[in-house]
Each structure stands twice: as structure tokens, then as C-alpha cells.
Structure 1
Amino acid sequence: MSPRVHAFTDDALGDDDAVGLAERLRRREVSPAELRAAVAARAAAVDPRLHGLVAEHTAEPVTGEPDGPLAGVPTLVKDNTEVRGRPAGHGTAAFTPAPAREHAEVVRQLLAAGLDLVGSTRMPEYGLNASTEFAAAEPTRNPWDTRFSAGASSGGAAALVAAGVVPLAHANDGGGSIRIPAAACGLVGLKPSRGRLAPNANGARMPIDLVTDGVVSRSVRDTAAVLAAADRARRNPALPPLGLVEGPARRRLRIGLVLDSPTGAAVDADTRETVTAVAELLAKQGHEISEAGAGVGTRFVDDFLDYWGLLAFSVVTGGRLLHGRTFDPHLLDPLTHGLADHYRRAMARTPVFLHRLRRVAAAHAEQFTRHDVLLSPVLAHTTPEIGWLAPTQPFEQLTARLLDYVAFTPLANVAGTPAVALPAGATAGGIPVGVHLAGTLGDERTLLELAYAIEADRPWRRIQD
């Protein structure tokens, strides 16, 4: 049996992205019901091997606004986001989720774009891991090679979009959780600026809001279309208006090339080669490329680990307040308990690490006095095989592996700035390799324009080819 799995076939979905499907829907070449039937058939064909779905609701969708720009296009929502009448399980076995009473604000934005919600996708427990793996359940597998991780925390979303089940899927990002699975699965994954979309309820509860919602998609124009629709549905006057970005710009940009990770982890050869090749491409397009540093050091890594532990500690100690009497902390994964224990040891440092993390935004902004965009790897190495980041690994070993792997993404979460992962390369074995573009607060437009330019000159590989 081939380790590569995809669902692309000659059905109503075809090879189209979301924008292409919306155009066909408007021309009445296909109906929303036909698209939903195709999603159901594709999910049945591949999800038994990928394990990306929590639930499939193609027979009872939550339908979007009929006049939205993506009206009738099917999508999936991550399992930590409330859809009225559906349970959100947060990737854990520690409680029994009840049907949500109301839509999350980001769900309202997706519906305003016209998207039809036809199911939910798997994630690791509370999004704390960078691989969608579990202590006592099947992992979500990478469709490019099912021996490998699909990334996390939006791993189910990325696996199913890459495999062709839906053209795009909702995702969110608190330390790389859009960009990591996008890089692992060969997708476009943009983490918007803090405040570009509606505030995420999970992130808003915490001392520093790291979490931003978005999508993973197979094309730059799909991501641009969703962001434009969300921005129209809920304008944040504190950020520059975005509008619909439809292609590259002619501007010459100052691009800082970052190849050394804040953690000190070595960047592997495939990743370094892909990022360097994109830098050379951008130089040929007329942009100015210069070396840059990450702008933070190992103290940031230590502070982020302490804050990561605080998030897990809040789950362990406050889970019953969030989820009710069915919550049982004894059923949480070892990683969650390990992070909570780490925070117990670090608790006295809380005021200090929070103060330093809050100062990161200013330090990161200083980078953009010299550069318009920072180009780096998404991850220090390509996605690992299933098991390498399993939550059952010894805690110290697992956290060391995670910090080495997730070396570049958390900075944008703490700073609140936009960043996008692009599927610009691959290993000799065909595993996707992503590159990372980071921008200044509110400047998703520049990132999208540059992404269009890279996509045009270095088209993304297609799993069906």
C-alpha cells in the first residue's frame, strides 16, 4: 500500500480550489449539495488512513450566507471552535463535550464568507503539541507519506485539505498551529495579525493572547479570499484595511534572510536549501536580500516554555470550570501534565517572564525598521515520523525535540504580527518543506503579494501528480 494518500478524482470537487469552486457555483455548473456529497465520498475514501476528522456533517451542514464570495464552498472547523449545536472536544479525552450554544465569532465570519461547515477536524490535546498524536488514539497522518506527522495543532485540517477532501479548512495558531501543519502537508497557512479576525475565546482568557484564527489552503488566492471576507464582515479600525489581494505587487522589498533559529537548533539541509532557493528567487524578482537575525535569543525560548506550561497548568487546574463535571484531569495526556508540572516549578518567575514576553512586540517591530519582510524556515527540520513527538515520550526529551523543531513560529504569536507558511520545496522523498514570511503588524497585504509572486514562479507541488 502506497504511503501517499489523496482523494482527488473526477467528481464535483475536481482539482479546484475554493475560489474556483465558488466561480463554478455561481455559473451553476455544480451545486452545493453535489460538493457536499463529494466531500463525504472523499472523506470515506481517505480518512480511515489519515484520521483527520472528528465528525462529518455533510448531510446536515451549517450553511453560509448565500451572497458571500465563497457561497456554497464546503469547509471544516477545528475541534476547539464552537459551532452551535455541535460539540467541541479540544482534542482531549478528559471531558465529554456538550453541543455548543452559540457560534464562535470566527465561525460567524466564515459563514459570512458563504462557507458551508460540513464537519470538524482533529487536533492534539488543547493544541499543546506540534504533532497531532495522542496517548491512546490513532495519530493524524500526513497524506504525502502516512509514516510521517501532519503537524499540529491544526493537523486534521491540514491533512484533509492536502488530501483533497475540502479545498480549505479553518485553523488557528497559538505558537505555529496554522503554519506548522501547512509546512508539513504542503499548504499555504497564514497566521493573521492579532485582531485581524475576531478575538479567539481560548486565547483571550490568557494573560498574553497568542491565538489567531485563519485557514489552511492549497492556494494563495483562497487564503486571500477568506481574509478579505473576514475583514469585510468585521473591520478592526486599529489595523489597516486589507481588502482583496489578487496578485503580486511591483514594489521592491527589503527582505531579511533568517537562517539561524532562536533556539540554536541546527536547520537541516533540505530546509536550508529550500529557504536559500526562495531567497535567490526573490533576488531575481528584484527584491533586496540581506542577512538578518531572529531578534530574540534563548531567553525568549525559556520564557515561551514557561508560558506554554502556564497554559497547560490552567487546563489541569481549571478544566472543570471550563468544561463542567465530566472533566477528569487524570485522563489528560502526559505532555499536558508534564507542561503543568514545569509551570509549577517556574511559577515564581511568572511576573518576570510575562513582562519579558510583553516586551517582545517592540523588539520584533524594530526588525522592521530595516526589513519589510523576514524570510526564514517555518521549522528547523522537516516533519518527523509518527512517534517522534508522541505525547507519551519522556517529557524532557519531548520538550527538547519540540523546541528544536518549532524554532521559528512562536515569535509572531507573542508579537501579534502576521506570518505565512508557503509550500516552496520538498525532500528527495517527497515530504513538503515550507518557508516562512513574517511581516509587521497589520501588513498581511505585503505577505500575500509576495506569496503570490513565489507561487507564480515556483508553483506548489500537487499531491495528485
Structure 2
Amino acid sequence: MEVSEYTEHDATGLAELIAAGKVSAAEVQTAARQAVESVNGELNALVGELFERPLAADERGPFRGVPFAIKDLVLHAEGVPQRAGTRMLGPGIPYPYDTALMRRFREAGLAAVGLTATPEFGFSATTESVANGPTRNPWDTSRSPGGSSGGSAALVAARALPVAHASDGGGSIRIPAAASGLVGLKPSRGRTTVAPDYADPLLGLGIEFALTRTVRDAAGLLDAVHGAEPGDRYLLPAPATTFADAARPPAGRLRVAVCTTAASGVPVDPACVAAVAAAAEALERAGHTVEEAAPEFDVAAFDDANLKAWCSFLADGAYGAAAALGIELSTDVLEHTTLACAEYGATLTALDLYAVDRVFNATTRTLARFLTGYDVWLTPTTAAPNTVLGHLDANDPTLDARGWYDRIFTFAPFTAWANVTGMPAVSVPGTPSPEGWPVGVQVVGRYAGEETLLGVAALLEEALPWADRRPAVLAR
């Protein structure tokens, strides 16, 4: 299989070719290796080298032999060192077991070929770390592909891989999807397992899944990996149909709320507003009821609680790793803002975290009540199409914990609501910016309502197609 043929297929298409015997899994993986190597020098999306050979996967799975990559954070594969984007872990720490979702990716047939870059401990809306350097956006290499799943996003956007693992604690699947022109589905809390290492990672904010180029890949992969493990905290109802069947323009008449202003009041780029307007018009043309509406949140309380959640998570990770390694935390091993956030997180008390829980509960009930009147909520994914490399500098010594938090969420003021509430959300490519950059449109749905979300995403993919768009850096 030539790389030029390989890049024209999504994961579903490659799996169909392999299942039909038209190409072997080995030929697809050879093409993938050539494709990744053709772009990684320019994009810096990998951590280390490609694996000597793809990790073992089930040859009977629905995505048998399809190339894949693992984000270097939270999810891990047996024997593969994990660095979490930080210098303090050096060459990485290998785990003696797969996480449950990694096992499910293998059972789906996905053949992991490498690790993808992430910012330090994932707390950024870009993928630039002292440990690994900046990852570049294939649409414009002076710009960021977003974060924290930016390494995965860059390789999928450049068509070097059809699909890659991603995770999302405040927008880290959807932000890189928006900046890189991809489909980024954050499932409902509990839809994908976080076993065995966590019950509620990041106080319930963290969700694991993937980045894809097509809606059908997101739906098919969710069919393959969703569901609880013994001991999981959440047991969601099974979907009424397969997610793949749900990924088609919905029948009936949906009620769609549209909002293009950020609750925080930060300005929103006209290109992001225009992309949402075009998506809303497409839904209206399809017969759905569209109206401007938004829930009313206590933004100040939300930001204070979200900051404390993140800083407690960073404190746990950084101080825990330091204790295990027998080292002291300092800027010799951590970036300035990571250290500032960890130090602040270490000062928080049990009372502080119970207060966080109360704000999260109020936020969840506000959005849930709002969505009793609407099927989905349509917003920009981010307040601008992307950021220039260096704008989100996690090693900036002038920023304290709150300053870093504000810098991130000024760029991404729309995404964290879905993490706090546990509701599913997806970013799909909207109409491009005047510069030709991708622009993301976010759709938020009711808890456990991925079927509706995927149907809306499929409608937008059909009405405002993005499959023929190509970035400047393209696998060859």
C-alpha cells in the first residue's frame, strides 16, 4: 500500500480493506510508519521513536490492524515507559500492565505504533513542553495544534494516522480537534473506563477516548471500547442502538440552543462566531428548531472551583512522583506554572475540596436543567481558531497558578463545562477562518446522550463537509 493511498482512508475504511483481504495489516502498518516519519520531523508530535514493531492487538477486532498511537498521559500499555510530558520522569516509567481502556483498544484491533506528545501533566491548551519541545500544527507550523492531546491531533490531521488516543480534563480532546480540523468526541463520564488506576480522575473531570477525522470512526470506536469494568463508579445505560447506527442525520425535530458569547465575557474571534452560525443554519435547513439561548452560570465560583480541582490533581501527581523518585520539586524538574499550581494545590484543605464539589454540583444541575428544554447546545469550541506557538508558555516565571489558569481558559472558555458536568461533547470542523485555519464547532448533549450528539455531528459532516480539506504538512 502506497502512503498516498493510505492517507485517503479513515480507520473504518482501512479496517474494511484489511478484512476484505485487499491489503494486509502489515502493509497498512508499513505505510503508517512511512507516513509518520514523513511529517514528524516538522511537527514534533511523537515522544521518542516509533515502536520497533506495533503493539500486539486482536486480529479479529473491528479495527484489526489499523495504526494507532497512545497519548503519553494517564492511559498506558504494559512495558511502555510513560513520561507525562515532564522532565521529572526522565526517560519514563514503564507500567507492568495495560489500563483497561488500553486493553480494549487492543481488543478492537488497533495497533499502537508510538507515543504522542502532551504538555506537562496535561494542564495546557497547547502541546509545548520543556521535556519534548513544541508540537506544531500541520495547517500552519507557526501555530499550535492545541492541547493537551496535541501530538495525537497533529499526526491525525496530517493523515499520518487515522485515529489516536486522546484524553480530556478541560477540553483536551476538543481543543486540539478544533485547532487541527478533526472530530473530537469527549464521551459522558463513565462511558469509557478509567480502570484500574482511577475512580474519578481529576475529581471527575478526566475522560479518555480518541481523535478521529470522521464521525463514523468516532462512533465505531466508541462501540468497540465503551462500558464499565468491575469496580467502576458509573454504570451508564446501554445505547438504544449502536453508536455507529446513531451516527447519521437525526430523524424528528431537535431543539438546538446556540450561543456564541463566552459566559466569562472573553472576546470570541469572528471566525468562530461565523462557524457556529453556519452550523446553526445547516441544522435549521434540516428542519430542526434553532434559537439563541445559554445557561446562566456563576462564572467566578466555577473558575475558582475548577482551578482548585486542577491544582489538587497536579499536587497529587507532582508530589507523589517526587516522593517515589526521592527528589525535591523545583524548576529543575518542573515548568514554572506546573510548580506554582502544585504548590497551590498542596495548600488546599478537605474543606476546600468539599466546596469544589458543591460548585460542581450546582453547575451540573444548572446545565442539566437547561438541557431539559433543548436536545443539544451549540457553541464555538474555542475563542479563537488556534494560538501562536509560545503564547501559552507554561514555563513563564511571571505566572502564578491563577494567572496560568486564566491564560488557558481565555483561549478555551467553552469546554470545561462539559467536564465538570460529565456531559458528552464533540468538536467538529466548521467553516475555516480567513487564513484557512480549521475552526471548531462544539455540540454539548445530555448526560449519556452520545447517540443524539453523533447524529448532529453526522448531519454537520454531511451539510458542511470537511473530508476534502488538506493541511500544508501532509503525510507522503
Indicate whether 1:188 and 2:194 are aligned: no
Match of 1:164 among 145, 154, 159: 159
Indicate conservation of the 8 Å contact 2:11/2:163, yes or no. Answer: yes
CA shift in 2, pair 1:9/1:390, >3 Å: farther
- The whole-number CA distance in structure 2 between the counterparts of 1:136 and 1:87 is 14
Are the structure 2 counterparts of residues 327 and 203 from structure 1 closer, same or farther at C-alpha, using a change threshold of 3 Å? farther
Bigger drift between 360-369 and 283-292 goes to 360-369
| 1:446 pairs with 2:452 | yes
Tell me if the contact between 2:69 and 2:164 (Cα under 8 Å) persists in the aligned partners: yes
Report what 2:35 is aligned to.
42
Which residue pairs with 2:325 in the alignment?
325
Q: Partners of 1:311 and 1:403 in 2: how far apart?
A: 17
Paired position in structure 2 for 1:210? 205
CA distance in 1, matches of 2:83, 2:421: 28
Aligned residue runs from structure 1 range 146-165, under 5 A: 146-165=141-160
For residues 201 and 209 of structure 1, the distance between their equivalents in structure 2, rounded to whole angstroms, comes to: 15
Using a 3 Å threshold, how does the CA distance of structure 1 residues 220 and 123 change in structure 2: closer, same or farther? same
Indicate whether 1:223 and 2:225 are aligned. no
Q: Which of 62-71 and 161-170 deviates more?
A: 62-71
Secondary structure of the residue aligned to 2:439 is: strand
Provide the rounded CA distance (Å) in 2 between the counterparts of 1:174 and 1:351: 19
Give the SS at the match of 2:170. Answer: coil
Give 1:135 deviation, angstroms.
3.3
Q: Do the aligned residues in 1 keep the contact of 2:243 with 2:454 (CA within 8 Å)?
A: no
Q: Which moved more, 1:103-112 or 1:345-354?
A: 345-354
Q: Whole-Å Cα distance in 2 between the matches of residues 312 and 14 of structure 1?
A: 38
Deviation at 1:327, TM superposition (A): 5.5
* Change beyond 3 A, Cα 1:56–1:68: farther
Give aligned-pair identity as a percent. Answer: 35
Deviation of 1:161 (Å): 0.4
**Other structure's SS at 2:366 match:** helix
Native 8 Å contact 2:210 2:218 kept in 1:
yes
Contact 1:185 1:432 in 2 (8 A): yes
CA contact (8 A) 2:118 2:148 kept: yes
Q: How does 1:298-337 map to 2 (within 5 A)?
A: 298=299, 299-320=301-322, 324-325=324-325, 329-330=329-330, 331-337=333-339
The aligned residue for residue 244 of structure 2 is 245
Structure 2 gap ranges (5+): none
Matched residue, 1:376 = 379
Could you tell me how far apart the structure 1 residues matched to 2:133 and 2:67 are? 25
TM-score by length of 1: 0.92
State the AA in 2 paired with 1:329: L
3-state SS in 2 of match to 1:411: helix
C-alpha displacement of 1:54: 1.1
1:156 to partner: Cα distance: 0.2
Q: Which residue in the other structure is 1:85 paired with?
A: 79
Q: Does 2:126 align with 1:131? A: yes
- 1: CA distance between counterparts of 2:197 and 2:151? 19
The alpha-carbon distance between structure 1 residues 104 and 346, as it changes in their structure 2 partners (threshold 3 A), is: closer
Return closer, same or farther for 1:380/1:76 CA change in 2, 3 Å cut-off: same
- Aligned residue for 2:113, secondary structure, equals strand
2: CA distance, partners of 1:329 / 1:173: 26
Give the alignment partner of residue 364 of structure 2, picking from 350, 356, 361.
361
Between Structure 1 and Structure 2, how many residues are aligned? Answer: 456
Report the Cα offset of residue 252 of structure 1.
1.1
The reply to whether residue 29 of structure 1 matches residue 22 of structure 2 is yes
CA distance in 1, matches of 2:243, 2:450: 11
Q: Is the 8 A contact 2:181 2:428 kept in 1?
A: yes
CA distance, structure 1, for counterparts of residue 145 and residue 26 of structure 2: 29
User: Which residue in 1 is equivalent to 2:437?
Assistant: 431
The 1:456–1:205 alpha-carbon spacing in structure 2 relative to 1, beyond 3 Å, is: closer
SS at match of 2:250: coil
Q: Deviations over 1:288-332 (max 9, x none)?
A: 1112224423121222122222222222322235xx326552201
Q: Aligned equivalents of 1:199 and 1:358: distance in 2?
A: 21
- Taking a change above 3 Å as real, the CA distance of residues 326 and 70 of structure 1, as seen in their structure-2 partners, is farther
The aligned residue for residue 281 of structure 1 is: 282
1:387 matched to which residue of 2?
390
Q: 1:345 to 1:232 in 2, by over 3 A?
A: closer
CA offset at residue 56 of structure 1? 4.3
Q: Do the aligned partners of 1:375 and 1:438 also contact (CA within 8 Å) in 2?
A: yes
Amino acid at match of 1:432: P
Distance in 2 separating the partners of 1:45 and 1:464: 14
Runs (4+) of structure 1 exceeding 6 A deviation are: 232-236
Determine the C-alpha separation between the residues in 1 that align with 2:334 and 2:372. Answer: 44
Distance 1:269 1:402 in 2: 19
- For residues 126-160 of structure 1, the C-alpha deviation after alignment (integer angstroms, 9 at most, x for no partner) is 10111111235420110000000111111100000
| Aligned CA-pair RMSD | 2.2
For 2:131 and 2:52, how far apart are their aligned partners in 1?
29
Could you tell me whether the CA contact under 8 Å between 1:37 and 1:58 is conserved in 2? no
- How far did 1:357 drift? 1.5
Deviates more, 1:46-55 or 1:57-66: 57-66
Per the alignment, in what secondary structure is the counterpart of residue 329 of structure 1?
coil
Gaps of 5+ in 1: 1-7
Contact preservation (8 Å) 1:361, 1:414 = yes
In 1: Cα distance, 2:243 partner to 2:260 partner:
31
The alpha-carbon deviation at position 243 of structure 1 amounts to 1.5
Matches of 1:207 and 1:388, distance apart in 2: 25
Question: In structure 2, do the counterparts of structure 1 residues 38 and 292 end up closer, same or farther at CA, with 3 Å as the change threshold?
Answer: same
Which amino acid letter does the alignment assign opposite residue 434 of structure 1? Answer: G
Q: What per-residue deviation string (whole Å, max 9, x for no partner) do you get for residues 176-198 of structure 1?
A: 11001010100000000111111
Q: Relative to 1, partners in 2 of residues 1:353 and 1:95: Cα closer, same or farther, differing over 3 Å?
A: same
1:463 aligned partner: 470
User: Which amino acid in the other structure matches residue 378 of structure 2?
Assistant: L
Residues 21-44 of structure 1: CA deviation (Å, up to 9, x unaligned): 011101212111111111211222
Cα distance 1:55–1:35, how it changes in 2: closer, same or farther (>3 A)?
farther
Paired amino acid for 1:339: C
- Please give the secondary structure, in 2, of the residue aligned with 1:221: helix
Which secondary structure state, in structure 2, belongs to the residue aligned with residue 395 of structure 1? coil
What is the aligned partner in structure 2 of residue 61 from structure 1? 54
1:114–1:188: structure 2 CA closer, same or farther, 3 Å change rule? same
Which amino acid counterpart does residue 238 of structure 1 have in structure 2? Answer: L
